[in-house]
Amino acid sequence: MLAIRLTAGPGRLDTLVLPVHTGAATDGGDAPATLAPTGSALPDGVSAEAAALLPAARLTGRAGETYRHLRPTRTPGRLLLLGVGEGTDRHWRTAGAALARAASDETHITLALPADAAEGTVRALVEGLLLASYRFRMTDAGERPALAEVELLATDPDGYRDAVDTARTTAEMTRFARDLTNTPSSVKNPQWFAAQVEAAAADLPDLHLRVRGPEELAAEGFGGILAVGGGSASPPRLVELDWRPADARTHVVLVGKGITFDTGGISIKPVPAMKLMRKDMAGAAAVVAATLGAAALRLPVRVTTLAPLAENMVSGSAFRPGDIIRHYDGTTSETTNSDAEGRLVLADALAYAARELAPDLLVDLATLTGANAVALGKRHGALYSENDQLAADLLAAIDAAGEAAWRMPLPADYLEHLGSDLADLHSSPDRGAGSVIAALYLREFTGDTRDRWLHIDMSAPSWADGDDAELTRGATGWGVRGLLRWLGTLS
């Protein structure tokens, strides 16, 4: 990962990056950009030269705008003007991402922070830099970004150490979630996923990991995970990862859907719907990465993460449409569509959490339905909770982190859709409102934690079709940033 170094005086000065703001709008149209005053001493004449460029180059200062100016034989040899818009955190994150791309062919750059830069500004800038420079390739061939180090020039570098450390951990964990999600399913089976968690957890103190295999799952009654995983040659797992700091007063349980590949099962998906189904464990990746992040940042909140892992395959041992499944808490589900598999594994994990872990707050993330994108498009997760405070807190954290979610209803009128003649619940009614129905189904397993539970259907924002600000094509690591921000507000 790109190195970020805070300094009061640059070690070397090849390319100097100067932030520019949007000018105040006037009646005459777009005002020219203005240079952000830096507190640090710059080489003679550089500020005046940059200021003169702004109108000449018709820069607006909008977030992510870049302009390169060459000064051969002088120091620095290049000036890079970087638009930071109105200077909001979101604009700085976008600027950091644009900078990582604009400077990808250089090895070392120096950015002069504005004199009055807030900690949030620096955190956002660094997150943008580290997230946009992410690449996933399973080959060493091809070009890689050359950019190895970004120096941040500040009058008081120590004031930003925490901001940079937090941004680095947040980005590192987001990148870990992206790696897990991008990995092809020929590699990524449940056992492999559990081994990745084990390796990552071994690097951090005070994390406890328990991985249940098929025998333990059977002995303890995890019927949903076993049914969904039954068709695969790679048997299911349940990962339980616990960050348990001594000073914690709140216990959060996170649950993430971990389908390492979703063929749809016997209710098989058509080709276009199946081709990206290696991402169907993005929820598990996000909650695991957020928990590792909580441990790395030593957040004073207990976090237990549950990742039910299974591969939903077509085979002679696959579960069938019409099967009735008995979940961890004894609830039975009639399933007429083996493609509604995520809720079956989550049901077990939620019931286990509610019964055995007595959480103060219970949050699950899942690439649960295609209906998420139908309702909200590609950017917003669909967020469900009966708890207004919890919903508001998470929405605020997600927004501050640069992610997006939208609160959805849990209408009592639709509960009748979950009725079954044969079992306690029907898991896959085909009556529309797919994301809402799935949320209502999950709620049935939350027991007396129901009023402290929150669910996010994040199938849409878990994947980006192209590079876009801090997102790179492929897995986005959605949820890691928002969850970490939120966990950081708890104690």
So which residues are the catalytic ones? 269, 343
Name which of 266 and 353 has its Cβ closer to Mn ion.
266
Q: Are 266 and 348 in contact (CB under 8 A)?
A: no
Name which of 76 and 342 has its Cβ closer to ligand BES.
342
Structure tokens at 340: 């509604």
Q: Are 45 and 108 in contact (CB under 8 A)?
A: no
Structure tokens at 322: 């019409």
CB of 385 to Mn ion, least distance (A): 23
CB of 174 to ligand BES, least distance (A): 19
262 binds ligand BES (CB under 6 A): yes
Name which of 248 and 274 has its Cβ closer to ligand BES.
274
Sign of the CA dihedral running 3, 6, 10, 16 = positive
Residue carrying the six token digits 């996923």: 193
Structure tokens at 199: 């390796």
263 binds ligand BES (CB under 6 A): no
Name which of 151 and 262 has its Cβ closer to Zn ion.
262
Residue 368 makes CB contacts below 8 A (sequence gap 6+) with 257, 283, 342, 343, 346, 435, 438, 457, 459
Q: Are 174 and 131 in contact (CB under 8 A)?
A: yes
Residues touching Zn ion, count (CB under 5 A):
4
Residues touching ligand BES, count (CB under 6 A):
15
CB of 234 to Mn ion, least distance (A): 17
SS3 90: helix
CA-to-CA distance for 374 and 376, rounded, in angstroms? Answer: 6
Structure tokens at 432: 């529309």
- Choosing from 60, 104, 336, 337, the residue that interacts with ligand BES (CB under 6 A) is 337
Q: Are 406 and 391 in contact (CB under 8 A)?
A: no
488 binds ligand BES (CB under 6 A): no
Site for Zn ion in 250-279 (CB under 5 A): 259, 262
- Choosing from 89, 240, 334, 339, the residue that interacts with Mn ion (CB under 5 A) is 339
SS3 190: helix
CB of 239 to Zn ion, least distance (A): 17
457 binds, among Zn ion, Mn ion, ligand BES, none (CB under 5 to 8 A by kind): none
Site for Zn ion in 278-307 (CB under 5 A): 280
**Cis upstream peptide for 76 (omega within 30°):** yes
Binding mask 243-262 for Mn ion (x = CB under 5 A): -------------------x
Q: Are 309 and 260 in contact (CB under 8 A)?
A: yes
When CB distances to ligand BES are compared, the closest residue is 459
Element (H, E) at 199: helix 190-202
47 binds, among Mn ion, ligand BES, Zn ion, none (CB under 5 to 8 A by kind): none
When CB distances to Mn ion are compared, the closest residue is 339
> In one letter, which amino acid is 402?
G
Site for Zn ion in 329-368 (CB under 5 A): 342
Residues that bind ligand BES (CB under 6 A): 262, 280, 337, 339-342, 367-371, 428, 434, 459
Residues that bind Zn ion (CB under 5 A): 259, 262, 280, 342
